[in-house]
Every structure is written in structure tokens, then in C-alpha cells.
Structure 1
Amino acid sequence: MWFKNLKLYTLTQSVDITEQDLEAKLAEFKFRPCGSQELATMGWGSPFNQGETLIHVTAGRVWLTLKKQERILPAAVVNAELADKVALIEAETGSPVGKKAQQDIKQEIIQRLLPQAFTKNSFTHGFISWKDNLVVVDAAADGKAEAFLAMLRKAIGSLPVMPMARQSVQAELTAWLQDDATPSDISILEEAELKALEDEGAIIRCKNQDLFSEEIANHLAAGKSVQKIAFEWNETLQAIIQEDLSIKRLKFTDVIVEQNDDIPKDQQLARLDANFALMSGEVVKFAERLKVIFQLDNEEQ
């Protein structure tokens, strides 16, 4: 199990809950498939996507999986049926069909077609490290991460978290390039996005570009700031870090990934457990390093 994105949150208070209690509370919001007239459902599923267990614990880190199922009913299909129905009514009555009537007809079409619609499943993974006061969600978008946290909060009653970075780190990211302030364990790669500070300021997106070149230096001197930048940390992982401290396009290097290659491929559960233990351990270490690099523990509470 290798996360591809990281949304990092700090637990601001301890949560008094045992693993058994957590699983029992999650079970009250266990995933169930869409009913015939439901567009979507969401609930907790097995991290291994099999079996009944709703949590998996390794070294005190709790792996959770939020499962969502949506019915796929293309708008083009609904609108085509609506157009045919409206045309038929107008031909029979000789009068145009009003907007409200069309909306009613559209809802009737949706209700009739929903039971026949295909379903699509999606999963949002995350883990909690209670001892590190850390919650991590594998999500590229804020909305997806917030849905995960909201469902967890709904299940256990309280989840006192806030983003690990409570303010933009664009000044620090800019300093990595402008002031030669790159941390010793960070290697800058060849991709970045620069933006002028104005609300509608120019945006420069760079790929396969030496970010310490004169061209980039000129953009920075003109007042642009780093919004996101590609990096490698400690020869362990590569990713894009954004000004809100979101981590995207996360990829662990062979130094990490190959550590579990000795586990036979037919032992799927053992490999998943070992990969999660390895991945989550590295993420915790990385998160702790980010706190130091950006002095996050010094932010006002």
C-alpha cells in the first residue's frame, strides 16, 4: 500500500479510544452499496478490500479506508430522453413544456434509469498515528480529504485536527531557490510553478527546467513566488510539495520499495501489511522532518 498524495493534519488533543472501540464505532458507518434510487453511498470498508475488519494496525499506526459508490448516469443519456419526451408532449398538446414541468419529467427519467445504472467504487485511504499526533489522508483534493475526516469525526464523535501547516509556506519554498536555503536532505528536481503575488498574477509552469538557472532567478527577482516544486527527500521519496504543504505525485524510491521484495507475491496480505508498515513509517518520519524544516511547532496555537 503506497500512498500517492499526502494531506497532513495534526491532532491538537489526545483522543481516548481503543482499537476495539474504534472498529466498533466505524462499524456503525460501514459501507453499503447504493440502493436502487440512491446516487451515491459512503462508508468504511476493509483496508485490504476484503474481509470484515475495518482497521489495520501496524506499529501503532491505524490504517482506515473510506469507500464510496456512485451510480453512473450520464447527463447526455438523461437529456436525450428528456428531449424526446418533451418533443412528444409538445406534438400531442401543441403547447411548449415549461421549465418546471421539464424538471419534473427529468426527475422521473432519473428515477426510472437509476436502478439500471452502472456503479463505480472509489477509495480514500488514510492512517492515524496516535503517538505522533498525526492524521494522514491519501487525497489530492481538499474536498476528498475533508470527506474522510468528516466521516471519521461522525463515527468517533470528535476528531480535533487542523492542517499541519496553518499558513502558506511559499516564502520558504521560494527561499529554497532564491537564497540557497534548500535543506541538506532535500534535492530540488526540475519542475515547479511560480506565481506573481497579485490575485490575477502571471503563472509560470516549468518542467525539465534547471530551477537554479538565470531564467528562473529573473522570475523570482521580478517578484514571483514558488507555489509548488518537485523534490527528493533523503533518497527515500520524490513528490511535489505545494505552498499549503500538500504533497502530490508521491513516489517512493527503490531504496524503500525493494525492501519487501523478498515476500512472495502470492502472500498478498503479508505484502500489503509490510508495505503499509514501511510506507507509513517513512511518511511519519517525513512529516516530522517537515515540521522542523518549516518550523511548524513554532506557529501560534
Structure 2
Amino acid sequence: MWFKNIRFYTLDLGDTLNIIKDEAKVEELLAKTAFKPCEANEQSSIGFAPMFGSNTQFHFSTGNNHFLKLVEETKLLPSQVVKTQVDEQVEKKELELKRVLNKQEIETVKAAVSNSLLSKAFATRKELLIWFNTQANIVGISASSAKRAESALAMLREAFMSFGAKLLAPKCVVEARMTTWIKENNLPEKFDFGSEVTLKSTDDDGGIIRASKEDLTSQEIAVHLNAGKNVYEIALNYDEAVTFSLTNDLTIKKVKPTDIYLEHNLPNKVEDEIADAQSLLILQGEIFTELCSYIMEIFDCDRT
């Protein structure tokens, strides 16, 4: 159970902190917003799920770190399939009525077709992990897209009535600072370069360069930077503990713990799968608290 991607937010719980401290109340509120499969005419559904499978709690807390899990279900309804059936139904209706359907009538046909297809559509499910630290006042959502992360925050607000989270707000131009790291071969102390980078021109007509398995301080990369391209995503290693890619909106992608870190910090596996999963979460809480705080420091993020 590992966060493969993560978007960080600052947290201001206010009175909600008292609820978080009451484990029984947290379970009650999460159960009220528990995941339910899509109804026949629903295209998507989202809700909280037990952390470690059926008959386990909806949340796992250790010290100031708290973990929750959301399940999203979405029915696959290709737009081209809908369009084809709508066109067929509209044509049939127009032949019957011997006239062209107006806009409202076409919308009615489209709604009927969509409802019919939804009842037969296949559904896919995805999980979203949520972590927050009530001392560091940080939230992390295991999503690379802003839309999915905001859906998770909306569910937190629905469950707890209030959940004050704001996206990290750097006081510098992130891509400019990351570009300087490579140009000057001068990373923040706890970072090491990975071997992947995405470069993009500042003008709309400029191209995008994606380099993999490259020395980021090489002459090849320098040529593109000197030509006016900036770093929009860069692979990094944090404190020999975790590797990841950092984007210009401070999203963390491709998160992976290093073997050395796991060897030194992860307890030996036991026959209890839940205990093993909890051990992984505890490590992640520690790493993400440090990593997010460090990112906020080096990019001059507002902590309020």
C-alpha cells in the first residue's frame, strides 16, 4: 500500500481537529460517506472504504499521521457509442414525425440513450489514498491529476463538514528554480539528480524535450537550457530514501522508496498482511512529512 503519486496541500483543521482526535467519531462519519457501487443510471460513484479490506476500520492513525482510502467507480461509456445510437434514434424519430427534431427533443433522446447504456455499461474501480499530518498541517492525496485530488478533498469536506486544505503556494517560479539547479549543477542539499527531465519552451510555439536515462548535467541538456527551455519535471532522489519526479506545480510522481531505506527502516515481514501494510504506511507518513516540509522550504511556500 504505497502512494505512487502525491499532491500536497497545507492544512487548517480548526475545530475539525477535535473530531479527528475522536476515533469513534471519525469511523462514524466515514461510514456515513462510505463507497456505494453506481446505481443503474449513475456514471460514477466515490466514497470511503475500509483501509485494509472488509471488517477493518475506515482509517488508520499513528501519532499525528492519519490515513484514509477512497474508492472511485466509473462506468465506461464511450462518447462515440453514445453519438452513434443518438444519431440512429434521432433519424428514426424524424422519419416517424416527418420533420426535423428541435434541440430540446434531441437532448431528450440523448438522455434516454445514455441512461439505457449506463445500465449495461462496465464499471472500473480505482483507489485513492489520503494522508494527513495534524502537527505539520499537511495533506497528501495519491493522485497526479488536480481533478482527482479535488474530488478527494471534496469527500473529506463532506465527511467532516469542514476540511481546510489549500494547494501549496510557492513564492517563486518553480520551473525557473528547477532550471537553475541543472544550469548551475547546484541542487538543494538533500536532493540528488535522477536521470529523467522534461524541458519546455516558455513560448506557446516551442517544443517539449523529454530525456530519459541521461546525465542531467550533460552538455546535451545544457544546449536545450541555453536555447531557452525550462525544466518542467525532474527526477530526484530525496535523502537516499525515496525517488520521484517533481513537476512545476509541485506534484510528486513515480514515488518509490529506495532499497537501502526499506532495508534499514522496514520491519521484517510477518504473517499478518495488515501489520505489513501498516508498517509501510508508517514509513510513508514519516517520509512525506519530511519531503513536503522540505519542498515548502526550498520553494518558499506560504505555510498559512
Query: Is the contact between residue 59 and residue 277 of structure 1 (CA under 8 Å) also seen in structure 2?
Result: no
- Deviation readout 1:175-196 (Å, 9 max, x if unpaired): 2111232123311122112223
Q: Deviations over 1:127-149 (max 9, x none)?
A: 11101111111111011111111
Deviations 1:214-233, CA, capped at 9 Å, x for gaps? 23223323332211111112
Greater mean alpha carbon deviation, residues 221-230 or residues 83-92: 83-92
> Which residue in 1 is equivalent to 2:18?
16
Q: Deviations over 1:9-39 (max 9, x none)?
A: 1124543322333332223322222222222
Q: Check whether the contact 1:23–1:55 (CA below 8 A) recurs between aligned residues.
A: yes
Task: Tell me the equivalent position of 1:208.
Answer: 213
* Cα distance in 1, alignment partners of residues 81 and 198 from structure 2: 39
Contact 1:58/1:273, CA 8 A, preserved across alignment:
no
Structure 2 counterpart of 1:222: 227
Distance of aligned partners of 1:93 and 1:288 in 2 relative to their CA distance in 1, 3 Å threshold? closer
Assess, with a 3 A threshold, how the Cα gap between structure 1 residues 115 and 200 changes in structure 2: closer, same or farther.
same
Alpha-carbon distance between aligned partners in 1 of 2:210 and 2:187, rounded to the nearest angstrom: 20
Code of the aligned partner of 2:154: A
Structure 2 residue aligned with 1:242, among 226, 234, 247?
Answer: 247
Deviation at 1:2, TM superposition (A): 0.9
Match of 1:4 in 2: 4
Which SS does the other structure have where 2:119 is aligned?
helix
Q: Which residue is 2:269 aligned to?
A: 263
Equivalent of residue 79 in structure 1, options 71, 76, 83: 83
Q: 1:87 to 1:125 in 2, by over 3 A?
A: same
The normalised TM-score by structure 1 is: 0.88
Paired residues, number = 298
TM-score by length of 2: 0.87
Q: Counterpart of 1:11 in structure 2: which amino acid?
A: L
Match of 2:29 in 1: 25
Q: Distance in 2 between matches of 1:85 and 1:203?
A: 44
- How has the CA–CA distance of structure 1 residues 26 and 95 changed in structure 2, closer, same or farther, with 3 Å as cutoff? same
Q: Aligned residue for 1:178?
A: 183
Question: Percent sequence identity over matched residues?
Answer: 30
Among candidates 119, 122, 129, match of residue 126 of structure 2: 122
Secondary structure of the structure 1 residue equivalent to 2:18: coil
CA distance in 2, matches of 1:198, 1:154: 41
How far residue 199 of structure 1 moved from its aligned partner, in angstroms, is 4.2
Q: Alpha-carbon deviations, 1:234-289, whole Å to 9, x = none?
A: 2211111112211111111112344547313x522111111111222222122222
Contact 2:170 2:296 in 1 (8 A): no
* 2:148 paired with 1:147: no
Q: Which runs of 5+ in 1 are unaligned?
A: none
Unaligned runs of 5+ in 2: none
1:158 alignment partner in structure 2: 162
Change (3 A) 1:74 1:8: same
Per mean C-alpha deviation after superposition, the further-off stretch among 160-169 and 90-99 is 90-99
Per-residue CA distance 1:63-88 (angstroms, 9 max, x = gap): 11122222223334433433443444
